[in-house]
Structure 1
Amino acid sequence: MTLRDDLTLYAVTDRAWLNGRRLVDCVEAALQGGVTMVQLREKHLDRATFIAEARALKSLCARYAVPLLINDDLTVAQAVDADGLHVGQSDLAAGTVRAQWQPGKLLGVSAQTVETALAAEAAGADYLGVGAVFPTSTKADAVDVPLATLRAITQAVHIPVVAIGGIDALTLPQLTGSGLAGVAVVSALFAAPDITASAQALRRQLGAL
């Protein structure tokens, strides 16, 4: 599979939606439903627990031949030999990460404007995450990105772009024709009573992008 294929349905974890379920079980349910990439996002775990969780998910994702990326923490990504790292504009600089990250490892960067998208591409990003394209309660500091800006970014860069933020079965059709490689979703998967069924439904919808 190409990187563009891997980005089709990109699951970003958020333990706020687990409701007593184990994260590893929820991620496996998403993988069974057709998720093609997983990002482990943890902002409040201690380092040892974060690494232990990352190792468990790395082993799980390997069984499904799906890349595991770590959000923001290069030390954790290196400790578990993750497939990649994703950083935001306020996290580690993309150029710094690329200089310290092993060759062949994926680097994703968040972008909200054409200018930041082009800068990330120049710094060595392999793909961009653009959003929030719709209102979202998952990330309190998310910046709204108009759909026109999303389209302008996909046209300006030569690397794959995924949209994130408020994407679910109702909003997904609005992204048709945006030039996206795929979408990154959080609550549309992990808040669902049946994660596998939700992933399957999103994969069917993505065929029309």
Structure 2
Amino acid sequence: MHINPLFPYPLYLVISERDCYPKNWLQVAEEAIIGGVDLIQLREKTDNPATFLAKAMRLKKITDHYGIPLVINDAAAIAHQIGAWGVHVGQNDLKPVAIREKYGDRLTIGWSIEAVQQLESQQMLVVDHLGVSPIFSTPTKRDTVTEWGITGLKHLRNRTEKPLIAIGSMNFHTAQQAWKAGADSIAVVSAICQSADPRQASAQLKALLK
């Protein structure tokens, strides 16, 4: 297993209440951690701030219990308020430099990369890791620009030392390909959230990352 010491979290779960429905999303999170998930990101694009905050606090009790980092999608203020490990932002969210200026080193910052030109951006100076989004197009995310594919992932791997998180239709068939192409972490949504057995699905995915 090529664990990157800068991002030692090979199996990365992106969770939302909707993605887990009809299962209880907090139970899915706990089962996934027991199965082998190394880090969880809470992504609730449609919740109002109060609802998102309440969900984040409930999830953080679970991630703290198991010693797992919690990342909050987009909402840096909520991430900071609950003492989350990090925040993940896309191209249309608050810029990484602005987050770093406001919160210092209290949050690790993940940034979605949708074009190679972003590697030249001043934002890269403060970004801790990159979400390569998407490797393959996915129904859970429709507002993307590039479909990177495995070739694109390899190209990025040759261009940057930053940890790379592969996201976008990552499942039992694609996770290993992305891992072998140089991803430091595999971000999964439905392969765990929609699984009949999230614990087993997590364990099987983790076993592929060797």
- Structure 1 length normalisation: TM-score? 0.92
Shift of 1:120: 6.5
Q: Given the alignment, which residue of 110, 113, 121 partners 1:108?
A: 110
- Do structure 1's residue 95 and structure 2's residue 94 form an aligned pair? no
Q: Which runs of 5+ in 1 are unaligned?
A: none
Matched letter for residue 152 of structure 1: H
Are the counterparts in 2 of residues 74 and 97 from structure 1 also a CA contact under 8 Å?
A: yes
- Structure 2 length normalisation: TM-score? 0.91
Are the counterparts in 2 of residues 131 and 142 from structure 1 also a CA contact under 8 Å?
A: yes
Matched letter for residue 92 of structure 1: L
Are the counterparts in 2 of residues 107 and 127 from structure 1 also a CA contact under 8 Å?
A: yes
Task: Please state whether the residue corresponding to 2:45 is helix, strand or coil.
Answer: coil
Determine the C-alpha separation between the residues in 2 that align with 1:194 and 1:74.
Answer: 32
Are the counterparts in 2 of residues 114 and 149 from structure 1 also a CA contact under 8 Å?
A: no
Are the counterparts in 2 of residues 38 and 67 from structure 1 also a CA contact under 8 Å?
A: yes
Q: Which runs of 5+ in 2 are unaligned?
A: none
- Do structure 1's residue 157 and structure 2's residue 160 form an aligned pair? yes
Partner of 2:23: 21
Are the counterparts in 2 of residues 121 and 157 from structure 1 also a CA contact under 8 Å?
A: no
Determine the C-alpha separation between the residues in 2 that align with 1:159 and 1:175.
Answer: 16
Decide whether aligned partners of structure 1 residues 201 and 30 sit closer, same or farther in structure 2, where only a CA change above 3 A counts. same
Matched letter for residue 90 of structure 2: G
Task: Please state whether the residue corresponding to 1:5 is helix, strand or coil.
Answer: coil
Q: Please, which moves more after superposition, 174-183 or 86-95? A: 174-183
Give the alignment of 1:117-196 within 5 angstroms: 117-119=119-121, 122-143=124-145, 144-196=147-199
Q: Please, which moves more after superposition, 9-18 or 125-134? A: 9-18
Equivalences, count: 206
Partner of 2:41: 39
Task: Please state whether the residue corresponding to 1:137 is helix, strand or coil.
Answer: coil
Shift of 1:199: 0.3
Q: Deviations over 1:178-203 (max 9, x none)?
A: 12111101011101110000000000
Are the counterparts in 2 of residues 118 and 157 from structure 1 also a CA contact under 8 Å?
A: no
Determine the C-alpha separation between the residues in 1 that align with 2:199 and 2:122.
Answer: 33
* Structure 1 vs Structure 2 CA RMSD: 1.7
Q: Given the alignment, which residue of 188, 198, 203 partners 2:201?
A: 198
Determine the C-alpha separation between the residues in 2 that align with 1:121 and 1:204.
Answer: 34
Determine the C-alpha separation between the residues in 2 that align with 1:30 and 1:174.
Answer: 21
Shift of 1:104: 4.3
Are the counterparts in 1 of residues 111 and 127 from structure 2 also a CA contact under 8 Å?
A: yes
Are the counterparts in 1 of residues 97 and 123 from structure 2 also a CA contact under 8 Å?
A: no
Task: Please state whether the residue corresponding to 1:108 is helix, strand or coil.
Answer: strand
Decide whether aligned partners of structure 1 residues 160 and 118 sit closer, same or farther in structure 2, where only a CA change above 3 A counts. farther
Task: Please state whether the residue corresponding to 2:71 is helix, strand or coil.
Answer: strand
Q: Deviations over 1:135-169 (max 9, x none)?
A: 31111223311322211111211211011000100
* Identity percentage of aligned residues: 32
Decide whether aligned partners of structure 1 residues 171 and 120 sit closer, same or farther in structure 2, where only a CA change above 3 A counts. farther
Determine the C-alpha separation between the residues in 2 that align with 1:160 and 1:53.
Answer: 28
Matched letter for residue 42 of structure 1: E
Decide whether aligned partners of structure 1 residues 139 and 126 sit closer, same or farther in structure 2, where only a CA change above 3 A counts. same
